[in-house]
Amino acid sequence: MVIDVDNLVKKYGSIIAVDGIGFRVDSGEAFGMLGPNGAGKTTTVEIIEGLRTADSGQVSVLGMDVARVPAKIKQRIGIQLQAPSLLPLVSVEEILQLFGGFYERSLPVDDVLEMLSLQDSRKVLVKNLSGGQQQRLSVAMALINDPDIAFLDEPTTGLDPQARRGLWSVIENMRGKGKTIFLTTHYMEEAERLCDRVAIIDHGQIIAMNSPRELINEYFNESAIQFEMEPPPSEVILKSFPGTTQVIVSGSEVIIYSDNIPATMSAILKYAEKTGLTEQLKDLYVREPTLEDVFLKLTGRKIRE
**Least distance in angstroms from the C-beta of 147 to ligand ATP:** 21
Q: How many residues sit close enough to ligand ATP to count as binding (CB under 6 A)?
A: 12
Q: Could you tell me the CA-to-CA distances from 112 to 32, 102, 174, 175 in Å, in that order? A: 23, 16, 12, 15
**Least distance in angstroms from the C-beta of 52 to ligand ATP:** 8
By CB under 6 A, is residue 17 in contact with ligand ATP? yes
Q: Which is nearer to ligand ATP, 17 or 25 (CB)?
A: 17
By CB under 6 A, is residue 264 in contact with ligand ATP? no
Q: Which is nearer to ligand ATP, 45 or 92 (CB)?
A: 45
Q: Are 260 and 245 in contact (CB under 8 A)?
A: no
Q: Are 190 and 168 in contact (CB under 8 A)?
A: yes
Q: Which of 30, 39, 171, 195 binds ligand ATP (CB under 6 A)?
A: 39
Strand order in the sheet with 77-79: 77-79, 149-153, 180-185, 30-34, 197-202, 205-210
d(CA 40, CA 178): 27
By CB under 6 A, is residue 43 in contact with ligand ATP? yes
Q: Which is nearer to ligand ATP, 127 or 304 (CB)?
A: 304
Q: Which of 280, 284, 232, 279 has its CA nearest to residue 258?
A: 284
How large is the C-alpha radius of gyration of the chain? 22
User: Counting Cβ atoms within 10 Å, is residue 177 exposed (0-12), middle (13-18) or buried (19+)?
Assistant: exposed
**Least distance in angstroms from the C-beta of 191 to ligand ATP:** 13
Task: Name 153's bridge partners.
Answer: 184
Q: Is residue 149 classed as helix, strand or coil in its secondary structure? A: strand
Q: Which of 1, 15, 69, 237 binds ligand ATP (CB under 6 A)?
A: 15
By CB under 6 A, is residue 147 in contact with ligand ATP? no
By CB under 6 A, is residue 250 in contact with ligand ATP? no
Give Cα 120 distance to the centre of its chain: 29
By CB under 6 A, is residue 133 in contact with ligand ATP? no
Q: Which of 42, 117, 245, 266 binds ligand ATP (CB under 6 A)?
A: 42
**Least distance in angstroms from the C-beta of 53 to ligand ATP:** 12
By CB under 6 A, is residue 35 in contact with ligand ATP? yes
Q: What are phi and psi of 22, to 5 degrees?
A: -145, 135
By CB under 6 A, is residue 38 in contact with ligand ATP? yes
**Checking DSSP bridges between strand 223-228 and strand 244-250, what pairing results, if any?**
unpaired
By CB under 6 A, is residue 178 in contact with ligand ATP? no
**Least distance in angstroms from the C-beta of 18 to ligand ATP:** 7
By CB under 6 A, is residue 21 in contact with ligand ATP? no
Q: Are 272 and 280 in contact (CB under 8 A)?
A: yes
Q: Which of 7, 12, 160, 165 binds ligand ATP (CB under 6 A)?
A: 12
Q: Which is nearer to ligand ATP, 145 or 185 (CB)?
A: 185
By CB under 6 A, is residue 41 in contact with ligand ATP? yes
Q: What are phi and psi of 179, to 5 degrees?
A: -75, 145
What part of residues 184-213 is at the interface with ligand ATP (CB under 6 A)? Answer: 186
Interface residues toward ligand ATP, by CB under 6 A: 12, 15, 17, 35, 37-43, 186
